[in-house]
Structure 1
């Protein structure tokens, strides 16, 4: 569950049971298919305005995006999004708010912070450098995360403890820098000065807490990052 620094995350977890295939959806801009947990759903409000639906819970017909924020902004500027939405919703072109890309990113950030809060309440997260280091050296952490503004020294010490516990010394692997600073993490987890956090190993056949957190994190990072696949298709 760890990703070496600067390595792009890719969603790898699914909400389906073992052996089941996750439903696929089609990106309205690129035409590519992907599992719904990798894409971002858009919904239409009663007044015809496009709204982000990152949890895919809004009623009615939805449209799906599998592009980064930069690619979405380019599609909006070129007028491609309105046409794609009209075809997807089988209606007149809906109203696209100017800040839709920012709304989507904010929704994905909330999804990540909400997920961290749920895992905290479920007893799946460990805070405090000393406690994290103890669990890391014992091989009891499924994932290790650092705030975006964590010091290099503090992160390096915990990374080393994790490598020792997982018998990966010399690999260069370590915790993942979250796109959240310590203030955002502290608010999300209801604790003071959260700089690092560890996710304990799962205790059942269901997806582990680390997989759930990684999925939310990967969707946000993939939206923020440029998509190599979309650039290669030239569809956006």
Structure 2
């Protein structure tokens, strides 16, 4: 299988596999829009910078100049909310990826099911909602370390900047607090989608909850009542 071809970020000049970059597409109406799945027809330009750098480049006119060189035209419009639209598109792409893996049978929710898979060495990735109880997250992480012979590694999984109602809605399940991936290829696909989003918002997944360096919790996140685990009170979405 061939590796994904590299592309050059129009702002930093750095080269990276295109799957780790974000494509900006020039639409037929002359408007620039995020094309996070890189499927839109027509001219495109690639960026690998985070939200803060993109905001600064847009404010100083550097983004427009770089796009003009990439598109080989100055006849386009950069919407005022391009940065926000890019963040939301990346977040939605990550949620869609989780939904696809759920429908494909590669994803588990529910602490008991995840813990059983973890202790049996079948867990390949672990995620927690922003409002997950710390005790429940620690228990599952410990089971994962034991089952994968990684005791002492400090492996905890990733705390997402999204509360359980949004995760529940994305997966079509009730009260999603913890998520486990039991297929290695599925875990890589989810990691690719999540990593692009978290990198863009300047998010450190070791924080609990993970926060954006520029805005705090993700714009998709909404405050919800807190319970300690997904075996307890259920929330409607």
* TM-score grouping bracket, smaller chain normalisation: 0.7 to 0.9
Within 5 Å, which residues of 2 pair with 1:167-206?
167-202=149-184
CA deviation string 1:77-119 (max 9, x = no partner): 1111111111110111521111111100000001100000000
Counterpart contact for 1:163–1:173, Cα < 8 Å: yes
Q: In the alignment, does 2:9 pair up with 1:30?
A: no
- Looking at structure 2, the residues matched to 61 and 96 of structure 1 have their Cα atoms a distance apart, in angstroms, of 14
Match of residue 81 from structure 1 = 63
Q: 8 Å contact 1:136–1:161 — kept in the other structure? A: yes
Partner of 1:232: none
Please list every run of 5 or more consecutive structure 2 residues that lacks an aligned counterpart in the other structure: 204-237
- What's the CA shift for 1:174? 1.8
Moved over 6 A (4+): none
CA shift at 1:31, angstroms? 1.5
Superposition pairs of residues 36-75 of structure 1, within 5 angstroms? 36-75=18-57
CA RMSD of aligned residues (A): 1.1
Q: What's 2:201 paired with?
A: 224
- Is 1:130 aligned with 2:112? yes
CA drift of 1:201 comes to: 3.1
C-alpha contact 1:137 1:164 (8 A) present in aligned 2: yes
Aligned partner of 1:209 among 169, 183, 186: 186
TM-score relative to the length of structure 2: 0.83
1:76 positional shift: 0.7
Q: Which has the higher contact order (CA 8 A, sep 6+)?
A: 1
Task: Measure the CA separation in 1 of the matches of 2:156 and 2:180.
Answer: 12
Q: How many residues align?
A: 203
Give the TM-score taking structure 1 as reference length.
0.83
**Ranges in structure 1 where 5+ consecutive residues have no aligned partner:** 1-16, 203-207, 227-236
